[in-house]
Structure 1
Amino acid sequence: MLTKDEFAQRRARLLKRLADQPHSAVAIIPGAQLATRSRDTEFPFRQDSDFLYLTGFNEPDAVLVLAPESEMPVQLYCQPSDPHEEVWHGRRLGVALAVAELGVDVAHAIDDLDDHLLPLLDGVHTVMIDHSKAEWLAHVQDLSDSLRQSRKKGQQAPRAYVDIAPWLHEWRLQKSAAELEVMREAARITVGAHKRAMRFAAPGRYEYQVAAELHHEFAVNGASAPAYGTICGGGENACILHYTENHSQLCDGDLLLIDAGAEFQGYAADITRTFPVNGKFSETQRQLYEVVLRAQEAAFATLKPGSHLQRAHKAAAKEITKGLIELGILQGDVNEHVDQASHRRFFIHGLGHWLGLDVHDVGDYQQDDKRTLFKPGMVLTVEPGIYIPADAKDVEAKWRGIGIRIEDDVIITEAGYENMTAAVPKTVAEIEAWMQTN
């Protein structure tokens, strides 16, 4: 569980960095707003990840302002208490409780933001704000223009608008001990959901029914929602990387690829397993599956502080290349195919990605041609795959229409790595044994 103190420490770190800038600076971090689903119905609210990282506050229409030279350097602007609105739309923390509950220095109603920002911006050299939030950047620049156009003597508008996202995203890449505990719980919930789905799947059932089993397991264990669109792709559907229609009936003899993860207290899990709908791999399925499994194991062997994701990807790609040649899907010399990256036709995505508050979490993979090196506390997915489309006419028919991906969530540790999701059956023997017991 993340505490109020941890969020305060993050804000203090940002305040110090602002204070250390060569010129005076303030940071403006907007939260998310409700998004209309249809007419007067909204999508379920999901807080902006950077705002959540700094506050832990999960209400819409809020803004955090950090002003190191102010008497109240940590300022929160949020929706005020309103009994009429809360009867219709739910309880609000409100301005009066925000200071004690969130540990900010002062709180104001969101409607008063501009009145407070104008004097705060006066004389400040640099505004730090996420440049991807174009509407907010334009709004702050408009406020600054009003200072510039004012006839009052001595007022001075900000001179620079610098993107704050790289700072926050660098920090978010390395998780704290408390964050890792939350992520282990997200992983534990997701492990249980995948194991349940494996036993539920059967010929004649539908992909959406399997997805419902996953979502039910998430919810009853306290995970507010899936961390992303759940993928349940049977047969040829597994060859569509982001297949989310989940409307097809499961067929005897097909494989089912499930890519699903729970979101717990804002943090994502992300697991993929591929298994036979009828509980028994065919020989063709087993052979291809074990190539992917060996590729994941080869990638795992590279995971340690000081290594990097590209090294793990190359290890997996080489193993996939060797396997495809052994099965006759590729022909020729292994090293030549590795040099030509022939695997990309069938292993068409990267090996993995950072994981955290976003399922494809923030953080650079390289800077100035230098790979980002693993450090303890970084969390990533490892997910090799092989996908052979049904229309691959130059591939032997028995392999066509098979898509396989195996994905686990790992923490880089001082000693190497920790696989948070290893408890989901993964070998052929483990999967078949699990699916055949009740």
Structure 2
Amino acid sequence: MRQPQQPTERFVERRNRLRQSLQERTAFIVSAAFEKIRNEDAHFLFRQNSSFFYLTGFDEPEALFVFRPWMSPEAVMFVREKNLERETWDGFRFGPDLAKKAFAMDECYLTTQIDEKLPELIADCEQIYFSLQDNFARQTQILEAVEKARLTRGRTSPVMASVMDPRSILAEMRLIKSPEEQELQRKACHVTALGHRAAMQAVQPGWNERQLQGIFQYAFAMNQCPVMGYNPIIGGGENATILHYNFNDQVLNKGDLVLCDVGAEWNFFSGDITRTFPVSGKFSAAQKDLYQAVLDVQKWVITQCKPGTRQAALQKMTIEKITDALLQLKLLRGDKEEIIEKQGYRRYYMHGVSHWLGMDVHDLGTFSVNGEERAHAPGMCLTVEPGIYIRTDDELAPKELRGLGVRIEDDILITENGCEVMTSAAPKEVAEIESLMAEDFDPKAYFPK
């Protein structure tokens, strides 16, 4: 029998917190993910819906969680049947009886009972939360259950409200990480940093980008992170100027930079580091100038990550610093304020400096609350990732900078007095990178300690 991946008490505590955010006569419904076909009869590796796992700890497809605060039963889950024949082919299934006990549910039913039981469970509810971005068949199933429940209510009963998006509540819960969640996030960041160190040591001119991707996969798997938090970006040369480059199939040439945006996932929490380093182990003068300009911006922005700083202000600060760098590098000319007003910097810097980080690499959470900019608070995790990208065909740029792309990204935890850089084990100073790359790659160095 498989055991729950994390202590069940953690999920019960989250459900207790969820209860405090809901009114009576509410049904809070979250669907598990469904398996997806990759090609013909082969499936993609299953990955659970983050919010479903956040509240249940259950890692099987097709399930449905229904939470009804202060009602009985309160926590209800629908799961696949216990089927020994299918388990012979696909692996262990909990089934309703084991799932009820292992995941501290008040009641568990079969997924084949959703059409029958769900209308009964929500019949007395006046508010329904369910994300309409879920699987279309599941959407239809939930909406039909809502309609069936409405039909069972008398004309004098309170009107059932429209279906509301649960992410507004889940985002607030997931935005502030508990001490236990912070440890999971640190572990994901630590393993991610190991992967970047291994990549710097192992890379060789003439390698394919895929081979470098394989080094990350090796370091992650050896530290029990078998999957990545997102599709990796391994962009050599001019491919580093493509923000979401995913082909990862070109040759890494001597003298080029390679941009690696790669993160490991540990127990559903994702790391997210970007490092840019020279394939040959040494930065050229032009590469160093560009790299140092981005690094100076990144390090300064990190100093501003502390309680009270607002996300919108962080972006504004970054734009000002990046514009200064672009002027110094002679990528832009003219008046700084006019460039910012007309967004001239977007020719070389066109994305946000930060996003929330957690169970999803771009984690739930808004940058504003009730129309006001959100301020950083202890327990929030975010990235800091400025960059400068210069197309090969950019005739306005100095020739020595054309085709260069640099992004530097770290993962930040806001603390009571400032911030913690959770990814500091991945070198980013020029001298540190060149020193590490001068060392021989030892695969055993990345075995877990």
TM-score range for the pair, normalised by the shorter chain length: over 0.9
Report matched runs for 1:359-370 at 5 Å: 359-370=361-372
Relative to the length of structure 1, the TM-score reads: 0.95
Letter of the 2:15 partner, please give it.
R
Q: 1:147 to 1:420 in 2, by over 3 A?
A: closer
CA distance, structure 1, for counterparts of residue 85 and residue 344 of structure 2: 63
- Does the 8 Å CA contact 2:120/2:149 hold for their aligned counterparts? no
Match of 2:268 among 266, 269, 289: 266
- Does the 8 Å CA contact 1:123/1:155 hold for their aligned counterparts? no
Q: CA deviation at 1:261?
A: 0.2
Instruction: Report the counterpart of residue 143 of structure 2 in structure 1.
Output: 141
Letter of the 1:343 partner, please give it.
Y
Query: Which consecutive segments of 4 or more residues in structure 1 shift more than 4 A?
Result: 147-157
Number of equivalent positions: 435
CA distance, structure 1, for counterparts of residue 96 and residue 164 of structure 2: 29
Structure 2 residues without counterparts, runs of 5 or longer = 441-449
Provide, for residues 309-353 of structure 1, a one-character-per-residue CA deviation record: whole Å limited to 9, x for no partner.
222222222222222212222122334434443222101111010
Report matched runs for 1:230-249 at 5 Å: 230-249=232-251
Instruction: Report the counterpart of residue 5 of structure 1 in structure 2.
Output: 9
Percentage of matched positions with identical amino acids: 37
Letter of the 1:239 partner, please give it.
T
Report matched runs for 1:426-437 at 5 Å: 426-437=428-439
Q: 1:151 to 1:225 in 2, by over 3 A?
A: closer
Letter of the 1:59 partner, please give it.
E
Q: CA deviation at 1:119?
A: 1.7
Instruction: Report the counterpart of residue 408 of structure 1 in structure 2.
Output: 410
CA distance, structure 2, for counterparts of residue 29 and residue 227 of structure 1: 21
- Does the 8 Å CA contact 1:299/1:313 hold for their aligned counterparts? no
Match of 1:208 among 195, 210, 233: 210
Match of 1:329 among 328, 331, 337: 331
Q: 1:242 to 1:153 in 2, by over 3 A?
A: closer
Report matched runs for 1:328-367 at 5 Å: 328-367=330-369
Q: CA deviation at 1:253?
A: 0.7
Provide, for residues 48-105 of structure 1, a one-character-per-residue CA deviation record: whole Å limited to 9, x for no partner.
1110110111111111111235321111111121110000011012212112211111
- Per mean C-alpha deviation after superposition, the further-off stretch among 27-36 and 146-155 is 146-155
- Does the 8 Å CA contact 2:131/2:166 hold for their aligned counterparts? yes
Letter of the 2:113 partner, please give it.
D
Structure 2 residue 132 is the aligned partner of structure 1 residue 131: yes
Instruction: Report the counterpart of residue 418 of structure 1 in structure 2.
Output: 420
- Does the 8 Å CA contact 1:79/1:109 hold for their aligned counterparts? yes
CA distance, structure 2, for counterparts of residue 427 and residue 77 of structure 1: 51
CA distance, structure 2, for counterparts of residue 258 and residue 315 of structure 1: 25
- Per mean C-alpha deviation after superposition, the further-off stretch among 254-263 and 7-16 is 7-16
Instruction: Report the counterpart of residue 76 of structure 2 in structure 1.
Output: 75
Instruction: Report the counterpart of residue 169 of structure 2 in structure 1.
Output: 167
Q: CA deviation at 1:39?
A: 1.9
SS of equivalent residue, structure 2 residue 147? helix
CA distance, structure 2, for counterparts of residue 363 and residue 207 of structure 1: 33
Report matched runs for 1:55-74 at 5 Å: 55-74=56-75
Letter of the 1:228 partner, please give it.
Y
- Does the 8 Å CA contact 2:241/2:390 hold for their aligned counterparts? yes
Provide, for residues 192-250 of structure 1, a one-character-per-residue CA deviation record: whole Å limited to 9, x for no partner.
11000011111111100000110111111111301111111000000000101011111
Letter of the 1:3 partner, please give it.
P
Q: CA deviation at 1:45?
A: 0.4
Instruction: Report the counterpart of residue 16 of structure 1 in structure 2.
Output: 20
Q: CA deviation at 1:139?
A: 2.2
Structure 2 residue 194 is the aligned partner of structure 1 residue 192: yes
Structure 1 residues without counterparts, runs of 5 or longer = none
- Does the 8 Å CA contact 2:123/2:152 hold for their aligned counterparts? no
- Does the 8 Å CA contact 2:199/2:212 hold for their aligned counterparts? yes
Q: 1:149 to 1:179 in 2, by over 3 A?
A: closer
Q: Cα RMSD (Å) of the superposition?
A: 2.0
Q: CA deviation at 1:154?
A: 9.1
